[in-house]
Amino acid sequence: MITLTIVFVVLSLLYYYSITSFKYWKTKGIKHDKPVPLFGNCLWYFMAKKSLTDIVNKTYWKYYNEKAVGLFRGGRPELIIKDLETIKHVFVTDFVTFNSRGLNYHEDISEPMMKNVFFAKGDLWRLLRQRMTPAFTTSKLKGMFPLIMDRAEKLQARALAVAATGQVVDVYRLMARYAIDFIATCGFGLDINALEQEDSPVDKLGEIFFKSSIRDTLLRFINYFIPSIGKRFKVFNNVEVEMVTLTKQILEQRNYEPSGRNDFVDLLLECKKKGLIVVESIEHKKPDGSPEIATLELDDVILASQIFIFFAAGFETSSSTTSYTLHLLAYYPEVQRKVQEDIDRVLSKYGNKLCYDAVKEMTYLEWAFKESMRIHPAGGVSMRVCAQKTHIPNINTTIDKGVRVLIPVYAIHHDPKYFDNPEEFRPERFSPEEFSKIPKFCYLPFGEGPRACIGERLALIQALAGLAAILSRFTVEPAPESTRHPAYDPLSEITLMVKGQLPLLLKKRSDTVT
């Protein structure tokens, strides 16, 4: 009886809290759907039946003429921003106020695997970003490219073996193996040969990092409805010990000195050797209004966190974006022919050898890849958290500290206001002539502003190398079981993972460059 009473009291308090917060957007004159007690507008999100992208996309089109729309995730008010000028305000103009990605349920807690350039906020983010940015220069990427090329050649060999059987290929799984081989080699200095293993560890990685498990669903409930308890649970508890242990082993093997491999660990060790990081704080000010000084020393845990995010972010985004590109090319054979002609033309100049300069010259392949990321962006929603009460001028409203702002990337990418016939796969959109006419801040596969993806250029060169390796030797075609419009997995929390497989046929080309 006492237990039932406690449960009743807790549910009553949660119900009261949720419905009182539901007045938030109405008092500010922001339109929104009528929320459901406890769940707000996200009942199916909490039930793990729909992704946040699904919910935001539906809201975007329902309130098409609004510059911003309110949303309640549980009892928490969130703001969907549709107006491009306001998106610029959040990403660039008032970046300091919106510097946090909001991927941590609790802004005052940062678990070890979130102390990286992707998850961190405020001064920690600025310190890491300043030190890490030089690690992704053109010269560093050129130095890393031989490692990429080696993996691309192994991808090509694997594709040849599969194509020889005439069997249908799950290109998502194939490109995921390429991604994990690349990350292990370029990130850890390890050769795991995922491309050559039938029972590859790649099969579980996507689920571990990007799909909501039963634990994740329960944790989502707890964090939104009982945050004081949710703070006790770590999001990445299942990988923390392993990542720190593995990182220490690799660092000790190299005696904390760059090995000359030019991989990501070497780049981190170079960052560490530079010593204490010092920046002006964006979180704290002195009494005279000038910024305080923030400092950071890179220890093993912070280095492990950088390797973790290099691994986690690089794996799924690379797997999805490259496999979606192959899938689109299979259904647009005339585009595929143009891509192959572009690849053949460039390779003939370089002795049929894939190298950094050759990949950079494959302009039509790059346009096709960018168009694929427009249709299937790696992340369907980009998020920021308001760090202090602030006025957003273009929508003439004030929001409070802690309110999350959602940028509907997928919906904007598919809006005919910005892209004519948006469902058509047309790489020419990204020619200099056409792309210059597209409004700023409507193409956001890597974000914009100071928090744009730091690894954008590395991701691009790695993806193009893999695609060039495949398309220089094969033509991709739909398989009997292929679906023209693949569905996204509603359990994918951050990225737009495909639901199931992406089956295609690989046909060896007879007109390949020799």
- How far is Cα of residue 411 from the mean position of the Cα atoms in its chain? 16
CATH fold of 115-379+414-508: Cytochrome p450 (1.10.630)
Residue 341: CA count within 13 A, CB half-sphere: 7
Measured between alpha carbons, how far is 375 from 366 in angstroms, rounded to an integer?
14
- The whole-number pLDDT of residue 18 equals 57
Domain range summary for the chain, segments of one domain joined by +: 115-379+414-508
- The whole-number pLDDT of residue 241 equals 79
The reply, when asked if residue 453 is annotated as ligand binding, is: yes
Tally Cβ neighbours within 10 Å of residue 42: 22
Q: At what angle do helices 300-331 and 237-253 cross, to 10 degrees?
A: 110
- The whole-number pLDDT of residue 200 equals 52
- How far is Cα of residue 484 from the mean position of the Cα atoms in its chain? 24
Stretches in the chain below the pLDDT threshold 50: 202-203, 206
- Identify the CA nearest to 339 among candidates 468, 495, 236, 192: 468
- The whole-number pLDDT of residue 25 equals 96
- The whole-number pLDDT of residue 149 equals 92
Which DSSP state fits 189? S
Instruction: Please answer whether residues 243 and 309 qualify as being in contact, where contact means their C-beta atoms are separated by less than 8 angstroms.
Output: no
- Strands 76-81, 390-392: pairing kind: unpaired
- The whole-number pLDDT of residue 226 equals 65
- The whole-number pLDDT of residue 202 equals 45
Task: Report residue 365 as tokens.
Answer: 């392949």
Grouping H, G, I as helix, E, B as strand and the rest as coil, residue 379 is: strand
Instruction: Please answer whether residues 171 and 476 qualify as being in contact, where contact means their C-beta atoms are separated by less than 8 angstroms.
Output: yes
